[in-house]
Amino acid sequence: MTILIRNGIIVDTEPEPVVIGPADVRIEDGKIAEVGPGLADVPGGEVIDASGRIVLPGFVDTHRHTWQAGLRAIEPDMTFGRYFQRVLRELAPAYRPDDIYACNLAGALECLDAGITTLVDWSHMRPTRERTDAAVRALRDSGVRAVFGYCLGDSPQDLASEGRRVFDEHFGTAGGLVSMMIAALGPEIAGAEHVLDEWRLARDLGLPVTAHLGGGSPESATEGLDFLRVNGLLETPTMFVHANHYDDDQFKLIAETGGGVSVTPVDEMTLGVGYPVTGRARAAGAPVSLGADTVTCGPGDMFSLMRAAFTLERGRPDGAGRDFSTKDALRVATIEGARVAGLGDVTGSLRPGKQADLVLLRTDTLGMAAAHDPIGAVVLNADTSAVDTVLVAGRVVKRDGRLLHHDVAAVLASLAETAQAVTVGAVTAVSA
């Protein structure tokens, strides 16, 4: 199966973001085969005319609680304490498995619609067997490339056996677009025994870990990182989500031990978690990526996140971020994101052999026209309405501005039902 993307404004990201100019991309069996100008026609292959389109690797969102899609803008002016109480304590328990499915499907399709082709779903919605299975099923049904961040949280189930069941049933030999990570509560949230169990499970299953780390306070950041170091847990590839309160030496340790950072710039600022560490972590050698985290009080698209990261880094109070460029912003949204997600050899750039996860952005709109510097236009000007065509592993999932393979009206209807049910359910549960 061959697809030829013809005559696009090609932007690659590896080793550094670069505009290749008018050129073609040939896709064979879901993988990028060749990039360059004037590629030969392939008899019987499909041709996608990309004239006037910027063609770039799909975005990678490394941290999103996808189950919150039905809670969008529920309390947009929250602080972190309120988020914790309202969203995690009151609303999360009201979800039925069908609600998890509806939200994960809608949230994953929201990503595809916006050009995010890879999603790390940090799934901490009080898992039961049924909820977990519904979450994974929705990701698989959506067609997005996803890493399912399995979190047992404070559920009474046995972490080792339930974690292995999830792995065996959904991931062991399944292959495909969805893989698994252990979403650990980590040492700043859970007790020592539980944390050791989380990292043991990751090691036993050969999986990386993603955890909210370094976002509490300088003291808890230091204590948590020391705990990981002293117990030998940094040997497991770990994604540090937020990481706001580490100092430069701590970022060096994270980088040296193969860790990566997920910055969620909007809610880190609005919820008061801490100042985003995009530049400081990169300066220490750690790959940095971006995440939407929560749509309860923030945007769900990568354009908003790139702009937030770009402006916050350029405007860093210590003045050290002035050189952070639009190319850097695109890098963290694509190739570095892929690395942080453990998929650096799979996606995030147009390198031949990688999966054909691609986005075509229109430039023939009032908001994008002229677009002198295509990378600048992607980072500073584009929004979701520019997303024309999206491919995941060479499969076209959006074409001419319309999502394929799903009845979007039905997805939205079931999301609306869920949004109603979980908020009413939470009110009842709280007053009971």
Map residue 256 onto helix, strand or coil: helix
What is the nearest approach in angstroms of Zn ion to the Cβ of residue 250? 20
Select from 41-49, 172-180, 229-237, 286-294 the region that touches Zn ion (CB under 5 A): 286-294
Angle between helices 218-230 and 248-256 (to 10 degrees): 30
Report the 10 Å Cβ neighbour count for 216.
19
What is the nearest approach in angstroms of Zn ion to the Cβ of residue 76? 17
336 binds Zn ion (CB under 5 A): no
267 binds Zn ion (CB under 5 A): no
What is the nearest approach in angstroms of Zn ion to the Cβ of residue 185? 11
Select from 160-168, 290-298, 337-345, 375-383 the region that touches Zn ion (CB under 5 A): 290-298
Nearer to Zn ion (CB atom), residue 110 or residue 293: 293
Nearer to Zn ion (CB atom), residue 12 or residue 293: 293
Select from 109-117, 289-297, 307-315, 322-330 the region that touches Zn ion (CB under 5 A): 289-297
Residue 232 zone, left/alpha/beta (φ > 0; ψ -120 to 50; rest)? left
What is the nearest approach in angstroms of Zn ion to the Cβ of residue 124? 8
What is the nearest approach in angstroms of Zn ion to the Cβ of residue 209? 14
Nearer to Zn ion (CB atom), residue 122 or residue 310: 122
Measured CA to CA, the distance from residue 82 to residue 71 in angstroms comes to 14
In b/e form, how buried is each residue of 304-339, taking b as 16+ CB within 10 angstroms?
bbbbbbbebbbebeeeebeebbbbbbbbbbbbbbbb
Select from 102-110, 128-136, 147-155, 285-293 the region that touches Zn ion (CB under 5 A): 285-293
Tokens 């060749």 label which residue? 34
What is the nearest approach in angstroms of Zn ion to the Cβ of residue 241? 6
- Residues 6+ away with beta carbon under 8 Å from 155: 126, 127, 128
Select from 3-11, 222-230, 292-300, 333-341 the region that touches Zn ion (CB under 5 A): 292-300
Residues 286, 260 contacting (CB under 8 angstroms): yes
Distance of CA 352 to the CA centre of its chain: 23
What is the nearest approach in angstroms of Zn ion to the Cβ of residue 211? 10
Distance of CA 22 to the CA centre of its chain: 29
Nearer to Zn ion (CB atom), residue 166 or residue 297: 297
Both tokens of 169, joined, read 């049933």
Measured CA to CA, the distance from residue 234 to residue 230 in angstroms comes to 9
Antiparallel, parallel or unpaired: β 59-64 and 46-49: unpaired
What is the nearest approach in angstroms of Zn ion to the Cβ of residue 421? 23
Nearer to Zn ion (CB atom), residue 88 or residue 174: 88
Measured CA to CA, the distance from residue 330 to residue 336 in angstroms comes to 9
Residue with smallest beta-carbon separation from Zn ion: 293
Nearer to Zn ion (CB atom), residue 61 or residue 293: 293
Alpha helices (runs of H) in 206-237, residue ranges in sequence order: 218-230
Nearer to Zn ion (CB atom), residue 99 or residue 293: 293
Nearer to Zn ion (CB atom), residue 293 or residue 388: 293
Residues 67, 119 contacting (CB under 8 angstroms): no
293 binds Zn ion (CB under 5 A): yes
Measured CA to CA, the distance from residue 105 to residue 281 in angstroms comes to 32
Contact positions vs Zn ion (CB under 5 A): 293
